[in-house]
Amino acid sequence: MTQQRGEQEIRAVLAKVWLDSQPRILERLTKLEQISANLRAGVLDEKCREDALEAAHKLSGALGMFGLSMASSCAAEIESLLAQVPLPESVALTPLLARLRGLLENTETPHTADLENHGF
């Protein structure tokens, strides 16, 4: 069946893209942690904030696409906080970043949600 073949192939593609994306995901997380440290030190400028927003935005989109809904929601929450004016205190970001890192470090492979129920 075309659909079953498509599901198998999309699983394989997701697994490959997931592996390829690991350096970028960790780089974005590290960037957010650095920016959180800058915020704590009171040296966060608008460019840094824009970079952080972009990193959180991309993390949220990519992680959700891989089926990592909790990590995606965590990144989206970080993005929402960074979009606030004035910027939140760093204490609001730190636990979210720690949680996100923990979620990512405990994830070995992506999982799409219940593929069998997604008839097309």
Partner 1 sequence: MDIPVGKTLLVIDDDRDIREVAKASLELVGGFTVLTAESGPSGVAVAQQATPDAIILDLMMPEMGGQETLAQLKRDPGTACIPVIMLTAKVHAAKQHLVDRGNASGILLKPFDPMLLPRQVCEILGWSTSEKDEATGDSAAG
Residues that bind partner 1 (CB under 8 A): 2-3, 5-7, 9-10, 13-14, 17, 20-21, 24, 54, 57-58, 60-65, 67, 69, 72, 76, 79-80, 83, 112-113, 115, 118, 120
| Cβ atoms of 87 and 52 closer than 8 Å | no
Instruction: Give 32 or 63: the residue with its C-beta nearer to partner 1.
Output: 63
- The CB-of-89 to partner 1 minimum distance in angstroms stands at 20
Q: Which is nearer to partner 1, 26 or 118 (CB)?
A: 118
- Spatial CB neighbours of 110, under 8 Å, sequence gap ≥ 6: 14, 15, 18, 66, 67, 68
Q: In the bound complex, what is the minimum distance in angstroms from residue 65's beta carbon to partner 1?
A: 5
In the bound state with partner 1, the residue whose beta carbon lies nearer, of 37 and 81, is 81
Shortest spacing between CB 100 and partner 1, in angstroms: 15
Which residue carries 């219940």 as its tokens? 114
Least distance (Å) between residue 82 CB and partner 1: 10
| Distance of alpha carbon 25 from alpha carbon 120, whole angstroms | 30
- Give the helix/strand (H/E) hosting 60: helix 46-65
Q: Enter the tokens of residue 116.
A: 């069998």
* Beta carbon nearer to partner 1, 5 or 42: 5
Nearest residue to 19 (alpha-carbon basis) of 85, 117, 108, 113? 108
